[in-house]
Structure 1
Amino acid sequence: MVNVLDFSDVSYVRNGAAILDGVSWRVTSDERWAILGPNGAGKTTLMKIATGHDYPTSGTVHVLGERLGGVNVFDLRTRLGFASSAQARRIPGNETVRNVVLTAAYSVEGRWNEQYDELDTRQADRILAEWDLLGLAEQAFATLSDGERKRVLIARAVMTDPELLLLDEPTANLDLGARERLIQLLSGFASSPSSPGMVLVTHHVEEIPPGFTHLMLLKEGRIVAAGPIEETLTAEALAETFGIEVDLQRANGRFAAVAR
């Protein structure tokens, strides 16, 4: 398998504070990573760098084999899939669900004068069906529930068959039903051998979908632990990361942590 993301001794400093501090981390195309850590751990900064929206203060980053600082990031981003809650604010509210997904082919957020062929439409409808959205294809984005919007943004992120998929807190602020449905869909996608390498940021072990293979625990810009999830996700590592003693449970491929 090929490396799709490679951080080598990466630090990111702003206003004299180290947001990331000496991060070395590698993702291959067959790995599905969850990144877990408290607020302020550096998770968002890590994702901004991984998507080419920011650059490290020191160290080197390779994304899909290309070194940040030595590649046109606009070209690079066409090979990435990215979904975050912030994107929802940039989507025109009257845009249909089908068009939100379809416009990913041109990397625009809102239908304008671009032209799409039948192949594009079939691809969009196939992906809408995979993410349980085809029945909402003609509905306006603004009328959707939070859970439906999150699924639309992920469907948009995979529209172009990306080589790396990055998801920033995809289940945040969802009710139980919407969260569980999305985790179920993410688990199915992650378990497919045809899916790209994946990185998912979350605050909660309960939101790690089955099928994710690796875990990074991040605290104050430093890696507490990183590796295969069965070895890395322990009560001791969670205590070090979050500063609270927990009992860790696992059932049916899902995790749960409860304070002692």
Structure 2
Amino acid sequence: MREHPVINLQDVTVQRDGKALIKDINWQVNPGEHWGVLGLNGSGKTTLLKVVAGMMWPRAGSGPVDILGNRYGKTYMPDVKKKIGWVSQAVDQQYQAHSQTSGLDIVLSGRHASVGLYEPITEEDIKRAQALLERFRIAHLEDAPLSQYSQGERKKALLARAWMAEPELLILDEPCSGLDVYSREELLDTLEESTRESGGPTLLYVTHHLEEVIPSITSALLMKEGRIAASGKKEEVLTEEKLSSAFKLPLRIQWESGRPWARVQKAGKHSY
């Protein structure tokens, strides 16, 4: 069992062109936790997760970034990145030029985090990829080209691809973007089942849709204007007061089947 925190950020600030994208971030994620990262567009969610994934670097003078027991700047980053899975719209777009790639090959490419197959593949790899296609309910698309997939099926294929490398940390950046309600709920059900399996990765789920916080997510980080507005157990963070402040609307929150749902309390201009 891992003894060190999965993530430990201390006084982290990221600047671009003299502007702070995130500021004074202190955040710890422990083994056994799954986090929802929420906030308005532009609140700093994606920047924060890019720091975690080693895609962006803090400002000089910021505190340490420790991920999976490795201190960034003092470790060999390619080895760390192999332990981190990432699913985002950017990854999806990379496959637009590979529309004839089969479902099996998409999942297999996750073994080495490549778009396309360039490394040797073993029989064991193929069996694992087929099992993941089954888990994510797209086994019938094993030989089908990506061009024939629905949006929901594409998302499932990319999730299976991310699981292929057996990551210790899995970052999902707006995975339900562009999905209709049926496809979204099907994807979330599949994700819930996979997250509950023992030995799986720590999940960081980035969204601005509150209802996507599935029951297996234990904790929540609420971002506002580049800072952490609240963090901790999801029931303590996802309150009407804190969410109304972060989303700049008077929200009513109702929990149903372990998921929070929001509705606007009233119309009009508000100051939070």
TM-score normalised per structure 1 = 0.96
Residue aligned with 2:192, SS: helix
Partner of 1:111: 117
Residue ranges of structure 1 left out of the alignment (5+ in a row): none
Q: How far has the Cα of 1:106 moved from its partner?
A: 2.3
The superposition leaves residues 55-93 of structure 1 with CA deviations (integer Å, 9 ceiling, x where unpaired) of: 111222111111111122222111111111110111211
Partner of 1:89: 93
Q: How far has the Cα of 1:141 moved from its partner?
A: 1.4
Partner of 1:62: 66
1:132 to 137, 155, 174: 137
Q: How far has the Cα of 1:43 moved from its partner?
A: 0.7
2:15 to 7, 13, 16: 13
1:178-189 matches, cutoff 5 A: 178-189=183-194
Partner of 1:26: 28
Q: How far has the Cα of 1:212 moved from its partner?
A: 0.6
Partner of 2:162: 157
Partner of 2:268: none
Q: How far has the Cα of 1:193 moved from its partner?
A: 3.0
The superposition leaves residues 167-208 of structure 1 with CA deviations (integer Å, 9 ceiling, x where unpaired) of: 111111210110000111111122223222110000011111
Residue ranges of structure 2 left out of the alignment (5+ in a row): 266-272
TM-score normalised per structure 2 = 0.92
Tell whether the 8 Å contact from 1:30 to 1:193 is kept in structure 2 after alignment. no
Partner of 2:247: 242
Tell whether the 8 Å contact from 1:6 to 1:27 is kept in structure 2 after alignment. yes
Tell whether the 8 Å contact from 1:11 to 1:22 is kept in structure 2 after alignment. yes
Q: Please give the alpha-carbon distance, in whole angstroms, between the structure 2 residues aligned to 1:215 and 1:128.
A: 29
Tell whether the 8 Å contact from 2:107 to 2:164 is kept in structure 1 after alignment. yes
RMSD: 1.1
Partner of 1:71: 75
Q: Please give the alpha-carbon distance, in whole angstroms, between the structure 2 residues aligned to 1:78 and 1:130.
A: 22
Number of equivalences = 259
| Letter of the structure 2 residue corresponding to residue 81 of structure 1 | G
Give the share of equivalent positions with the same residue, in percent: 36
Q: Please give the alpha-carbon distance, in whole angstroms, between the structure 1 residues aligned to 2:66 and 2:263.
A: 37
The superposition leaves residues 138-161 of structure 1 with CA deviations (integer Å, 9 ceiling, x where unpaired) of: 111122111111111111111011
1:45 to 44, 47, 63: 47
Greater fraction strand? 1
Q: Please give the alpha-carbon distance, in whole angstroms, between the structure 1 residues aligned to 2:198 and 2:112.
A: 27
Tell whether the 8 Å contact from 1:11 to 1:56 is kept in structure 2 after alignment. yes
Q: Please give the alpha-carbon distance, in whole angstroms, between the structure 2 residues aligned to 1:227 and 1:250.
A: 17
Q: Please give the alpha-carbon distance, in whole angstroms, between the structure 2 residues aligned to 1:217 and 1:78.
A: 27
